[in-house]
Amino acid sequence: MKATTLRRIGARVATLLASLLIALTMAFALGRLSGDPTATILGPMALPEQREALRHQLGLDQPLLVQYFDYLKGVFTGDLGDSLQFYQSNTTMILDRLPFTLQLVAAGMSLAILIGIPLGVLAATREGTWWDRGASTLALLGQSVPVFWLGMMLVVLFAVKLGWLPAGQSGSLKHLILPAVTMALYPMAHIARLTRASMSDALREPFIDSARARGISTTRVVWRHGFKNAMMPILTIIVLQTGVLMSGAVAIEYVYSWPGLGQLALQSIQFRDFPLVQAIVVFAAVIFVLLNLVVDLLHSVVDPRVR
Amino acid sequence: MIKNRLGARRLVAVAAALTMAGLGLTACGSDSEKSGASSNAPIRALLNAQPTTLDPIVGPRSGQPVWGTMLEPLINTDAKFDPENTGVITDWKRDDPTTWTFTVREGISFSNGEKADAAAVANSILLNRDTEAGILKSYFGNVASVEAPDATTVVLKTKTPQYNIPNLLTNVFLLPPAYYKEKGSEGFAAAPVGTGPYVLDKVQAGRSISVKLNPDYWGEKPKNTGVDFSWSNEPSQRLALLQSKSVDVAFDLSYTQAADAKKAGLEVTSTETAVKLVAFLYAPTAPFNDPKLREAAALAIDRNAIVDGIFDGHAKADAGLLNIVPGSEPGESVTADPAKAKELVGGTSVTVPISYPAGQYTNIEEVAQAIGGSLEKAGFKVKYNPLDYGTLVKQVVGRQLNGIYMFAGVPNVAVPDFFASGFMKTVSITGNCPDPKADALVQKALEQDDAAAAAPVYDELNTLGVVDNHCFVPLYRQIFNYGTQKNVSGVQYDALGAYDFTKATR
C-alpha cells in the first residue's frame, strides 16, 4: 500500500476517533446537566442521608474530572455501567433492544431504496414531464411531512378506522409495516431527489450520447452507464441516512411503541438515567463513526480516483 | 473492474437483502397474534410505562401492576384502605405502645417452594428498613427491631409509639428470604418469586411481561389464566391500541381520550385517586414569612375554578391536606376570597416566584398560570419558574425555593402521617412551615391508640397548617381513567394505585 494511502487512512481514523471523543464528552456533560437523578430514583419522600448514600454509590460525590475519567475508562474497557431505573447492565439492555431498531432501520431503508431510486431515475429520464413533476412533488412532500404526524395518521387510518394493521408494538410482520413505511418516507424522498439530480448530470455526459449512438438500448444506457456513474453520492447518502435513521428512530418508536433503542433512550432521558443515556450515546456514536468509515471505504472501492 | 462489481442491480439486491433481513428478524421475534377471546383467557393489559424493576424494595410504584400479581402485601386492605385479616398476616395486637405482635397465616409457600413463614415476614420488613436505596426506607425509620420467635409470630418494636404500623405493612410485599439473598435485587427483578395468585411466565425484554396462574396459590383462584402486560408511553397510542382491539385494557387515559374511548363504544372507568396536587407556601423566607401575605395568597387561589376551567371537572377539588382517602373532607378549610386577598396585599409590590415541575403532571403549566393569574389579580407580581422534576425536588429538599412551589403528594398507604410527617414537621421533606406546635401534634397523633383516636389530632393539624398558618394550599385530586373492551370485566384499580386482575375476564 502506498505511503500516501496509509497517511490518508491514518488521518481519517484520527478524525473519527476525535469525533468519538467529542461525542463521549458531550454525552457526559449533558448527563450531568440534566438534574439530580437521586430525586427521581428515590422520590420526594426519601431521607437526605439516603440521597447522599445514593450519590456516593453512583460516584456523584466525586470531582467532575474524576467522574469523567472513570467514565472514559469504563467506555474503553467495554463497561457501560448499570441503569439507574432498570437495575440492569446497560450493555445487556442495549443488546436486547438493538435487534428491534436494526429491524426497523433495515426495513425502512430498504423501502426507501426500492422506491426512492426508481422514482429519482424516472424523474431524471423524463425531465420536465408530469412524471418528473409528480416524482419531485412526492419527494418534496416526503421531506416536509413530520414523521410523528404521519405515524399518527397511519395509525388512525390503517389500525383504528380500517383495522387492517396493528396500531403499534412489535411481534409479527404486520407490526412492522406501519413503522417501516413511516421510517422510509424521509430517506426515500432524500434518495429520490438526489438520484434525480445525480442522474440528470450523468445523463448529460458525452459517454451517454456515445452509448446511444452505438445503438445500446435506453434501459441499458440509463442503468448500466448513467446510474453507475451517478451512484457515488447516492451510496454516500444511503449509508449516512442509515445512521440518521438509527437516531431518528426515537420518534417512530415512540409513536408505535416499538421496543427499540429509541424508545429506551427516551425512557432513560425521562428518568434522568444518565448512565443509560450515556451508554446509548456512546453506542450511537460508535455506529456513526463506523458508518462514516464505511462511506470512506465505499468511495475508494467505487471510485479509484480517491484511493 | 470496479464498475462491473457494483452495479445498479447489486444495489437493488442489497436493498432486497436488507428487507429480507428485516423480515427475518421480525420472524425471529414473532408471536402469533393473540386476538382470540374466551372467558378465562389471559388479560392483555397496556400500561403507561415499562416497569423499571420488579423488585419492590427499590422499585417505584410503576412496577406494582406487574409485581403485584406475583407478590402479596403482608396485610390486606378493605375497600376503605383499612388493614384487614384476609392476607398473609391474619391477626395483630399492640402489646404495649411500642410493641406489636403479628400472626402469620400457616401453610403458605412461595412459588419456588420456600416457606412463607414469620421469618420471611420479618425479613421483608427489615429489607425495607435497611436497604440503602429502599423506596420505603423513610417509613420504617422508627422500627427498632423485628423478630420471629416462631413460625407464625412476628414481634415488631418501635422506638416511639406509632399506631399506624399495620397500615404501613399493607405496602410491604412478602419476599422469599433465601431466594432474594441468593439472587440479589437485579436477579430477583429478572424473575420475581412470591406467594401471589400468579407466577412469572415469560419476559420479552422491552416488550412484554406475562404472568400465569400459580397452581399452588393458597387463596381464591383468579378467573383468568394470566395477564400479558405491555406498555406504551404515548397516550394516543394507548387509545389506538385499545380501539384496534390489540389490548383488553389500557390504563392512564387523559380525560379527552377517555371521552374518545367512550364515543368509540369502549368502557371507561374513572377513579378518584389519593394523588393530591398541593401548592406549598415557603414561610421561612420572604415574601411568605409575612403571615398576612400567606393568607392573601391562600385566599386568592380558587381551586374550584382550576378544576372547572382547566380540567373541565375531570379532577376533584380538595381543600384538605391530611384527608388521604377520597371522599373524606377536612374539618375546616380555606375558601377563595379574591376581594379579601386584594385587601390584604394592600397595593404593596411583592413578587412571588411560582415553581412547578414542567410536564410532570397533566396540565401543570395551565394550573401554574391560573394560580399566577389569581395572585396578580390580588396585587402580587408573579415570576414563573418551571423546573424539571428532579431539580424541583432537589431544590425543595435543599430549601432553595421561596414563594410557592407545587408538586403532587402520592401516598403509598392511606395514613395521614404520610403527608403530616412528610410536609408539616419542621424537619420534613418540604420544611416550608416550621412550627413547634405542628411538630408536637404530628408526634401526638402517632402516639394515639388507633386511627379513630388520631383523627381529631390530624384534623387539628390540618387546620393549623392550612387554615391558620396558610402554608399549604391543597388544590385537587387527580382522576385516573382506564378503558376496557366491551367484553372485558372485573379489572380493578384503586385510589392508591393498586391493580387487581384476579376477577377480570374476557
Are the beta carbons of B29 and A110 separated by less than 8 Å? no
Alpha helices in B72-133 (DSSP H): 118-130
Say if A91 is an interface residue toward chain B (CB within 8 Å): no
Residue A259 has pLDDT above 60, yes or no: yes
| pLDDT of the residue at A305 | 64
Say if A225 is an interface residue toward chain B (CB within 8 Å): no
Are the beta carbons of B33 and A41 separated by less than 8 Å? no
Which single residue is written with the C-alpha cell 434522568? A272
Which residue in the set B133, B137, B232 is minimally distant from A257, CB to CB?
A: B232
* Average pLDDT of the residues in A53-71: 84
Residues A272 and A103: their CA atoms lie apart, in Å, by 27
Q: Is the peptide bond before B222 cis (omega within 30 degrees of 0)?
A: no
Are the beta carbons of A256 and B18 separated by less than 8 Å? no
Domains and CATH numbers, chain A: 97-302 (1.10.3720.10)
* Average pLDDT of the residues in A102-129: 92
Written as nine digits, the cell of A205 is: 455526459
Task: Point out the least confidently predicted range of A15-29, A68-82, A285-299, B408-422.
Answer: A285-299
Say what percent of chain B tops pLDDT 70. Answer: 92
Would you say B211 and B492 are in contact if contact means Cβ atoms under 8 Å apart?
no
Written as nine digits, the cell of B65 is: 401492576
More confidently predicted of B484 and A250: B484
Are the beta carbons of B388 and A228 separated by less than 8 Å? no
Q: At residue B384, what are phi and psi to the nearest 5 degrees? A: -85, 140
Over residues B148-160, the pLDDT tens digits come to: 999 999 999 999 9
Contact residues on chain A for B397, CB-CB shorter than 8 A: 39, 44, 48, 51
Contact residues on chain A for B53, CB-CB shorter than 8 A: 85-87
Are the beta carbons of B246 and A166 separated by less than 8 Å? yes
Residue B256 has pLDDT above 70, yes or no: yes
Rounded to a whole number, what is the distance in Å from the CA of B218 to chain A's nearest CA?
Answer: 31
| pLDDT of the residue at B31 | 42
For chains A and B, count residue pairs whose Cβ atoms are closer than 8 Å. 227
Over residues B161-176, the pLDDT tens digits come to: 999 999 999 999 999 9
* Average pLDDT of the residues in B43-54: 89
Supply angle C-alpha B50, B55, B56, rounded to 5: 100
| pLDDT of the residue at B299 | 97
CB atoms near residue B358 (< 10 Å): 17
Q: Closest by alpha carbon to B501, among B221, B269, B275?
A: B221
* Average pLDDT of the residues in B207-212: 94
Going by pLDDT thresholds of 50, 70 and 90, the confidence category of residue B11 is low
Are the beta carbons of B22 and A163 separated by less than 8 Å? no
Say if A62 is an interface residue toward chain B (CB within 8 Å): no
Residues B408 and B494: their CA atoms lie apart, in Å, by 17
* Average pLDDT of the residues in B279-290: 96
| pLDDT of the residue at B442 | 94
Going by pLDDT thresholds of 50, 70 and 90, the confidence category of residue B38 is low
Residue B17 has pLDDT above 60, yes or no: no
Task: Point out the least confidently predicted range of A4-8, A61-65, A95-99, A106-110.
Answer: A4-8
| pLDDT of the residue at B390 | 72
Q: Tell me which H or E stretch contains B385.
A: strand B380-387
Residue B409 has pLDDT above 50, yes or no: yes
Signed CA dihedral, B362, B366, B370, B371: sign only: positive
Instruction: Collect all residues with Cβ–Cβ distance below 8 Å to A296 and sequence separation of at least 6.
Output: A12
Going by pLDDT thresholds of 50, 70 and 90, the confidence category of residue A278 is confident
Say what percent of chain A tops pLDDT 90. Answer: 23
Are the beta carbons of B26 and A175 separated by less than 8 Å? yes
Please give the mean pLDDT across all residues of chain B: 89
Say if A208 is an interface residue toward chain B (CB within 8 Å): no
Q: What is the dihedral of CA B192, B193, B196, B199, to 10 degrees?
A: 70
Going by pLDDT thresholds of 50, 70 and 90, the confidence category of residue A34 is low
Say if A114 is an interface residue toward chain B (CB within 8 Å): yes
Residue B1 has pLDDT above 60, yes or no: no
Please give the mean pLDDT across all residues of chain A: 85
Contact residues on chain B for A160, CB-CB shorter than 8 A: 240, 243-244
* Average pLDDT of the residues in A81-92: 84
Q: Closest by alpha carbon to A121, among A198, A207, A205, A224?
A: A198
Residues A18 and A16: their CA atoms lie apart, in Å, by 5
Q: At residue B200, what are phi and psi to the nearest 5 degrees? A: -65, 135
Over residues B307-341, the pLDDT tens digits come to: 999 988 889 999 999 999 888 899 999 999 999 99
Q: Which residue in chain A is spatially nearest to B420 when comparing CA positions?
A: A45
| pLDDT of the residue at B316 | 94
Note the Cα B433 to chain centre separation in Å: 25
Which residue in the set B58, B244, B393 is minimally distant from A39, CB to CB?
A: B393
Say if A33 is an interface residue toward chain B (CB within 8 Å): no
Residues within 8 A of B (CB atoms), A 128-157 only: 152, 155-156
Say if A228 is an interface residue toward chain B (CB within 8 Å): yes
Supply angle C-alpha B27, B32, B35, rounded to 5: 145
Residue A43 DSSP SS3: coil
Task: Point out the least confidently predicted range of A223-232, B150-159, B254-263, B458-467.
Answer: A223-232
Q: Closest by alpha carbon to B180, among B194, B196, B169?
A: B194
Note the Cα B422 to chain centre separation in Å: 15
| pLDDT of the residue at A52 | 79
| pLDDT of the residue at B32 | 38
Distances (CA, A) of B212 to A38, A166, B42, B173, B201: 34, 25, 8, 19, 6
Residue A294 DSSP SS3: helix
Q: How many CA atoms lie within 13 A of A292 on its CB side?
A: 15
Say if A169 is an interface residue toward chain B (CB within 8 Å): yes
Which single residue is written with the C-alpha cell 420479618? B122
ipTM of the shown complex: 0.74
Residues within 8 A of B (CB atoms), A 13-32 only: none
Say if A55 is an interface residue toward chain B (CB within 8 Å): no
Q: What is the C-alpha radius of gyration for chain B, rounded to an integer number of angstroms? A: 26
Which residue in the set B27, B137, B207 is minimally distant from A47, CB to CB?
A: B137
The secondary structure of B434-489 as a DSSP string is: --HHHHHHHHHHHTSSSHHHHHHHHHHHHIIIIIIS--EEEEEEEEEEEEE-TT-B
Are the beta carbons of B22 and A104 separated by less than 8 Å? yes
Say if A235 is an interface residue toward chain B (CB within 8 Å): yes
| pLDDT of the residue at B30 | 40
| pLDDT of the residue at A189 | 92
* Average pLDDT of the residues in A81-106: 88
Say if A74 is an interface residue toward chain B (CB within 8 Å): no
Which single residue is written with the C-alpha cell 392511606? B414
Q: Tell me which H or E stretch contains B256.
A: helix B255-263
Which single residue is written with the C-alpha cell 429478572? B190
* Average pLDDT of the residues in A172-188: 92
Are the beta carbons of B52 and A85 separated by less than 8 Å? yes
More confidently predicted of A46 and A224: A224
Domains and CATH numbers, chain B: 2-70+196-266+485-500 (3.40.190.10), 76-181 (3.90.76.10), 274-479 (3.10.105.10)
| pLDDT of the residue at B347 | 81
Task: Point out the least confidently predicted range of B76-90, B232-246, B267-281, B385-399.
Answer: B385-399
Which single residue is written with the C-alpha cell 421531506? A143
Would you say B144 and B136 are in contact if contact means Cβ atoms under 8 Å apart?
no
Residues B220 and B218: their CA atoms lie apart, in Å, by 7
Say if A301 is an interface residue toward chain B (CB within 8 Å): yes
* Average pLDDT of the residues in A189-198: 92
| pLDDT of the residue at B36 | 46
Are the beta carbons of A44 and B135 separated by less than 8 Å? no
Which single residue is written with the C-alpha cell 424537619? B427
Are the beta carbons of B205 and A93 separated by less than 8 Å? yes
Say what percent of chain B tops pLDDT 90. Answer: 69
Best to test chain B binding among A55, A60, A110, A195 (most B CBs inside 10 Å): A110
Residues B245 and A152: their CA atoms lie apart, in Å, by 17
